[in-house]
Structure 1
Amino acid sequence: MEPLLVGSFQKASSPLPIPYLAELTSLHCSSNVATHSFKRKAFRNVGKSYTMPLRLQLQGRALIDERCFGGRIVKLNSSRNLDSRVKSASEQSFESEPSKNPWNSPQHALDAFYRFSRPHTVIGTALSIISVSLLAVEKLSDFSPLFFSGVLEAIVAALLMNIYIVGLNQISDIDIDKVNKPYLPLASGEYSVITGAMIVSSFAILSFWLGWMIHSRPLLWALSVSFVLGTAYSINLPLLRWKRFAVVAALCILAVRAVIVQIAFYLHIQMFVFGRPAVFAKPVIFATAFMSFFSVVIALFKDIPDIVGDKIYGIQSFTVRLGQEKVFWVCIFLLEMAYAVALLVGATSSCTWSKWTTVIGHTILGLLLWNRAKSTDLTNKVAITSFYMFIWKVINQSTSSRKRITSWFPRLTVESC
Structure 2
Amino acid sequence: MLSPISSQNLRVRRCQAWSNIESSFALNCRQPLVMQHAGGIKYNLSLYRRGDTKYIVNAASEQPLESEPLSYQPKSLQGSLQDSLNAFYKFSRPHTVIGTALSIISVSLLAVEKLSDFTPIFFTGVLEAIVAALFMNIYIVGLNQLSDIEIDKVNKPYLPLASGEYSVATGVIIVASFAIMSFCLGWSVGSQPLLLALFISFLLGTAYSINIPYMRWKRYALVAAMCILAVRAVIVQIAFYLHVQTHIYGRPAIFPKPVIFATGFMSFFSVVIALFKDIPDIVGDQIYGIRSFTVRLGQKRVFWTCITLLQMAYAAAIIVGASSSSLWSKLITVLGHMTLSLILWIRAKSVDLESKAAITTFYMFIWKLFYAEYLLIPLVR
Q: Does 1:140 align with 2:115?
A: yes
Distance 2:122 2:310 in 1: 32
Residue 399 of structure 1, CA deviation: 1.7
1:191 Cα deviation after fit? 0.2
**Are 2:148 and 1:173 equivalent residues in the alignment?**
yes
3-state SS of the aligned residue for 1:240?
A: coil
Task: Give the alignment partner of residue 309 of structure 1, picking from 284, 287, 296.
Answer: 284
Contact kept in structure 2, 1:102 and 1:108, CA below 8 Å: no
Q: CA–CA distance in 2 between the matches of 1:246 and 1:231?
A: 16
> In the comparison of the two structures, how many residue pairs are matched?
321
Q: How many angstroms apart in 2 are the aligned matches of 1:135 and 1:54?
A: 54
1:264-318 deviations in whole A, cap 9, x for unaligned?
Answer: 0000000000001111112111110010000000000000000000000000000
Aligned twin of 1:205: 180
Structure 2 residue aligned with 1:245: 220
Residue 371 of structure 2 is aligned to residue 396 of structure 1: yes
Q: Partners in 2 of 1:178 and 1:263 — Cα distance?
A: 37
Q: Offset at 1:140?
A: 1.1
Partners of 1:404 and 1:169 in 2: CA distance? 31
Q: How far does residue 16 in structure 1 lie from its aligned partner after superposition?
A: 8.4
Aligned-pair CA distance for 1:354: 1.1
Distance in 1 (alpha carbons) for counterparts of 2:76 and 2:182: 25
Separation in structure 2 between the aligned mates of residue 400 and residue 159 of structure 1, nearest angstrom: 19
Q: TM-score of the superposition, structure 1-length normalised? A: 0.74
Identity %, equivalent residues: 70
- Is 1:118 paired with 2:78? no
Which of residues 165, 170, 173 in structure 2 aligns to 1:195?
Answer: 170
Instruction: Tell me, yes or no, if the aligned pair for 1:164 and 1:203 is still in contact at 8 Å.
Output: yes
Return the offset for 1:242: 0.3
| Pairwise CA distance, 1:405 | 1.0
Q: Of the candidates 313, 333, 337, which is equivalent to residue 308 of structure 2?
A: 333
Shift of 1:96: 9.4
Specify the code of the residue in structure 2 equivalent to 1:254. Answer: L
Give the aligned partner of residue 153 of structure 1: 128
After superposition, the C-alpha distances for 1:382-402 in whole angstroms (9 at most, x for unaligned) are 11111000000011111222x
Determine if contact 2:321/2:329 at 8 Å carries over to the other structure. yes
Unaligned runs of 5+ in 2: 1-27, 41-58, 62-74
- Residue 318 of structure 1 is aligned with which of 283, 293, 296? 293
Counterparts of residues 292-303 of structure 1 (less than 5 Å): 292-303=267-278
Aligned counterpart, 1:406: 380
Q: CA deviation at 1:139?
A: 1.2
- Contact 2:277 2:363 (8 Å CA) reproduced: yes
Task: State the shift of 1:349 in Å.
Answer: 1.1
Match in the other structure for 2:203: 228
Partner of 1:237, secondary structure, is coil
Query: How far apart are the structure 2 equivalents of 1:400 and 1:54?
Result: 45
Deviation track 1:103-134 (CA, whole Å, cap 9, x = no partner) reads 96111111100000000000000000000001
More helix by share: 2
**Which one of the candidate residues 385, 400, 403 is aligned to 2:360?**
385
TM-score (norm 2): 0.81
Once residues 257 and 215 of structure 2 are traced to their aligned partners in structure 1, the CA distance between those partners, rounded to angstroms, is: 36
User: Which of the numbers 268, 272, 277 marks the counterpart of 2:247?
Assistant: 272
Any idea what SS the aligned residue of 1:365 has? Answer: helix
Question: SS in structure 1 opposite 2:380?
Answer: helix
Bigger Cα Rg: 2
